[in-house]
C-alpha cells in the first residue's frame, strides 16, 4: 500500500470578481514509503497550492488524500511541511535548540528524552555548537537547516518540502541538497519535494512528476535511476543527466508556448 | 537617550544645576518660599515623612491600587485583544466602539465611576483598569493580526491544538506589540491612580498631595510629588529590566531599543 495517495485532487479559488480560477487541475499520484519524489513545474503553476492541500492546510475542492490508506481531512499527524520561507516559519523567540524541541514537544516527547534527541538532530543537520543561537543570528542556509531539523524532530513518516532551497544562493543550495540526501538515507523518511529547479529535482529524486501550467496537471512521470549516494560533480556530469534535464525543459517550455 | 550603561555626565550636571537654581531662587525670596520651598527643606520633609511612617500607608495604598488596576487591565486587554485579533468579524463589530472610546481622555470617566461605584477603592481601581485597557488592547489586536500566516500554518502542520497554538505561537509572536501596549499603559495607570485619589480618595499619594496642599504644608506636598515621581521612575525601570530579560530575542533582531 502506498504511504501517500492523492486521488483526483483539484483546487479552485473564487476571485474577487466572482470568477473561479482553477489552480490545481486533476492530480492523482502515489508515493511509496521511503521514496524521494518531486514535483517540478513552472512558477505559478499551483505547486504550492498542491502541497498545501496534501499537507491538509487548505481543503481541496475535489478529490481526496489518503495517508496509509486512510482518508485525511486537516493536517495529518504523520506528515509535516517545510516551508520555503524559513524566516517566517521559524520561531524567532526560540533558540535553535528551542525550535527543534518544539518539533519533539509537538510529537509529545518528554523533556528529558527530547533534549538529547534534539541535540542529535542538530548535529545531523550540521549545526553543532549553534544550539543557543537565535534563528536571526544565522545565515539563510543555516536557518533552513534548523527548520528541517525541527520538522524531522516531529518524526514524520512523510516530509513535504515546498521549494525549501528556493531563496538560497546557488552554493548553499548544493550543500543543502547533499545534507538533505544524507538525512533521508539515514532516517528513511519519505520525502515529497517541490521545486521549479529541474536539475535539483533530478539530482534529488527517485521519481519526478512534471507539472503543466495552471491549472496544473501531471504531464510526465520520470523514474531517475542514478545510483546513490549521488554526487554533485559526477551525477550532474553524466550525459544522461543533461538528457533528462533537456527533456523536462522542453516539456515545460512547450507547455508555456501553448498559452 | 544616552547609550545603555554609559554614565551621562552632562545630563546629571544639568539636573544638579536645576536643583541648585531651585534652592537659591527659593531662598532669595521669603514670599516665594511659601509656595516653592527650597529643595533642601523638601528633602528634609520627605525623610521625616518616611522615617515617621506617616506616608507609608499612602504609598502602599497607591502601589496596591496601581498593581490591581494595571494587572487586571493587562489580563482583560490581552485576552480580549487576542480574541479580537483572531476573529475578524468580532473585531469589525467592535471597531467603531473602540475607536470612539479610546481617544477620550480617560479621566473624564471618573465622574461616571463615582456615580456607579462611589468614592472607594473599587472606583479608583476601575478607572485605572479602564484607562490602561486601551493601549494594551489595541496593540494586542494589531500584534495578533500581523502574525504571518506561515507561522500559523507551521503550528497546524505540527498538529497543534487551539490551546498550544495560543501559548506557543500566537502569544509569543504578538508579544513585541503586547509589550509595547503594556509599557504605554504603565504610565497611564499611575496617572489615573493618582488623579482618582485626588478627586475622591481618603488615602493614597494623590490624596496626600492634595491634602497637604489644602493644609498649606507645601514642603510635604512637594515631598508627595517627589514620591510619585520616584514611584513612576522605579516602576518604569522595573518594567524595562523585565522586558530586557523576556524580550532579549526581539532586541537582538535589530529592533530599535526602546525606553
Last residue of a domain, one of A155, A180, A199: A155
Last residue of a domain, one of A155, A179, A204: A155
pLDDT tens profile B119-155:
889 999 999 999 999 999 999 999 999 999 999 999 9
- The verdict on a CB contact (< 8 Å) between B158 and A103 is yes
- Are A138 and A254 in the same domain? no
Query: Residue B3 has what pLDDT?
Result: 56
Domain boundaries, chain B: 40-251
CATH class label, B40-251: mainly alpha
What ipTM, to 2 d.p.? 0.91
**Mutant choice from A59, A72, A74, A93 vs B, greatest count of B C-beta within 10 A:** A93
- Are A128 and A226 in the same domain? no
Q: In chain B, which residues touch A (CB < 8 A)?
A: 148, 150-151, 153-154, 156-160, 164, 168-169, 172-173, 175, 249-250, 252-254
Cell triple for residue A139?
A: 545565515
- Are A59 and A90 in the same domain? no
Query: Residue A258 has what pLDDT?
Result: 54
Q: Which of A9-13, B170-174, B207-211 has the lowest mean pLDDT?
A: A9-13
- Are A134 and A146 in the same domain? yes
Query: Residue B7 has what pLDDT?
Result: 84
Q: Is the pLDDT of residue B2 over 60?
A: no
Q: In percent, how much of chain A has pLDDT > 70?
A: 98
Residue ranges in chain A whose pLDDT is less than 50: 259
- Per the structure, the count of domains in chain A is 2
Tell me how far apart the alpha carbons of residues A45 and A39 are, in angstroms, rounded to a whole number: 11
Q: Tell me the pLDDT of chain A averaged across its residues.
A: 91
Tell me how far apart the alpha carbons of residues B16 and A63 are, in angstroms, rounded to a whole number: 78
Which residue range(s) make up the domain with A135?
Answer: 79-155
Q: Is the pLDDT of residue B257 over 50?
A: no
- Cβ contacts of B153 on chain A, cutoff 8 Å: 52, 57, 81, 83, 89
User: DSSP readout, A116-156?
Assistant: HHHHHHHHHTT-TT-TT--GGGS-HHHHHHHHHHHHHHT--
Q: In percent, how much of chain B has pLDDT > 70?
A: 96
Q: What is the pTM of this model?
A: 0.88
- Are A171 and A249 in the same domain? yes
The 3-state secondary structure of chain B reads CCCCCCCCHHHHHHHHHHHHHHHHHHHHCHHHHCCCCCHHHHHHHHHHHHHHCCCHHHHHHHHHHHHHHHHHHHHHHHHHHHHHHHCHHHHHHHHHHHHHHCCCCHHHHHHHHHHHHCCCHHHHHHHHHHHHHHHHHHHHHHHHHCCCHHHHHHHHHCCCCHHHHHHHHHHHHHHHHHHHHHHHHHHHHHHHHHHHHHHHCCCCHHHHHHHHHHCCCHHHHHHHHHHHHHHHHHHHHHHHHHHHHHCHHHHCCCCCCCC
- The verdict on a CB contact (< 8 Å) between A103 and B173 is no
Last residue of a domain, one of A101, A134, A155: A155
Amino acid at each position: 500500500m502506498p504511504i501517500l495517495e492523492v486521488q483526483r485532487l483539484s483546487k479552485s479559488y473564487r476571485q474577487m470578481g466572482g470568477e473561479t480560477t482553477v489552480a490545481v487541475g486533476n492530480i492523482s499520484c502515489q508515493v511509496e514509503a521511503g521514496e524521494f519524489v518531486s514535483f517540478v513545474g513552472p512558477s505559478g503553476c499551483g505547486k504550492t497550492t498542491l502541497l498545501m492541500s496534501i499537507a491538509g492546510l487548505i481543503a481541496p475542492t475535489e478529490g481526496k488524500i489518503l495517508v496509509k490508506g486512510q482518508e485525511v481531512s486537516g493536517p495529518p499527524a504523520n506528515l509535516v511541511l517545510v516551508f520555503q520561507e524559513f524566516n517566517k516559519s521559524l520561531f524567532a523567540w526560540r533558540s535553535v535548540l528551542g525550535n527543534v524541541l518544539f518539533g519533539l514537544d509537538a510529537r509529545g516527547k518528554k523533556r528529558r528524552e527530547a533534549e538529547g534527541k534534539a541535540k542529535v538532530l542538530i548535529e545531523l543537520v550540521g549545526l553543532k555548537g549553534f544550539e543557543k543561537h537565535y534563528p536571526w543570528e544565522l545565515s539563510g542556509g543555516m536557518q533552513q537547516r534548523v527548520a528541517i531539523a525541527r520538522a524531522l524532530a516531529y518524526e514524520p513518516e512523510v516530509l513535504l518540502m515546498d521549494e525549501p532551497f528556493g531563496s538560497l544562493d546557488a552554493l548553499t543550495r548544493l550543500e543543502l541538497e547533499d545534507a538533505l540526501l544524507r538525512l533521508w538515507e539515514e532516517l528513511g523518511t519519505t520525502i515529497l519535494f517541490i521545486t521549479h529547479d529541474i536539475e535539483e529535482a533530478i539530482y534529488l529524486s527517485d521519481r519526478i512528476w512534471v507539472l503543466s501550467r495552471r491549472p496544473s496537471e501531471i504531464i510526465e512521470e520520470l523514474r531517475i535511476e542514478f545510483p546513490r549516494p549521488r554526487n554533485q560533480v559526477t551525477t550532474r556530469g553524466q550525459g544522461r543527466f543533461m538528457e533528462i534535464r533537456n527533456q523536462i525543459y522542453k516539456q515545460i517550455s512547450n507547455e508555456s508556448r501553448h498559452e | 537617550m544616552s547609550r545603555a550603561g554609559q554614565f551621562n555626565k552632562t545630563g546629571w550636571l544639568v539636573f544638579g544645576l536645576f536643583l541648585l537654581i531651585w534652592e537659591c531662587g527659593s531662598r532669595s525670596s521669603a514670599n516665594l518660599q511659601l509656595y516653592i520651598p527650597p529643595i533642601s527643606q523638601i528633602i528634609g520633609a520627605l525623610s521625616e515623612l518616611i522615617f515617621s511612617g506617616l506616608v507609608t500607608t499612602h504609598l502602599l495604598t497607591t502601589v496596591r491600587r496601581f498593581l490591581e488596576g494595571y494587572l487586571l487591565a493587562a489580563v482583560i486587554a490581552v485576552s480580549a485583544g487576542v480574541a479580537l485579533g483572531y476573529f475578524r468579524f468580532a473585531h469589525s463589530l467592535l471597531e467603531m466602539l473602540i475607536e470612539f472610546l479610546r481617544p477620550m481622555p480617560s479621566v473624564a470617566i471618573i465622574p461616571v465611576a463615582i456615580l456607579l461605584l462611589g468614592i472607594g477603592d473599587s472606583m479608583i481601581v476601575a478607572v485605572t483598569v479602564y484607562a490602561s485597557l486601551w493601549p494594551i488592547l489595541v496593540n494586542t489586536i494589531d500584534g495578533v493580526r500581523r502574525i504571518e500566516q506561515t507561522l500559523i500554518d507551521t503550528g497546524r502542520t505540527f498538529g497543534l491544538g487551539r490551546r498550544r497554538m495560543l501559548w506557543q505561537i500566537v502569544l509569543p509572536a504578538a508579544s513585541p506589540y503586547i509589550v509595547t501596549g503594556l509599557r504605554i499603559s504603565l504610565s497611564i495607570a499611575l496617572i489615573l491612580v493618582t488623579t482618582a485619589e485626588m478627586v475622591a480618595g481618603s488615602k493614597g499619594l494623590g490624596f496626600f498631595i492634595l491634602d497637604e496642599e489644602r493644609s498649606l504644608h507645601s514642603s510635604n506636598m512637594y515631598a508627595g510629588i517627589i514620591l510619585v515621581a520616584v514611584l513612576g521612575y522605579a516602576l518604569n525601570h522595573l518594567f524595562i529590566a523585565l522586558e530586557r530579560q523576556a524580550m532579549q530575542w526581539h532586541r537582538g533582531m535589530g529592533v530599535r531599543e526602546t525606553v
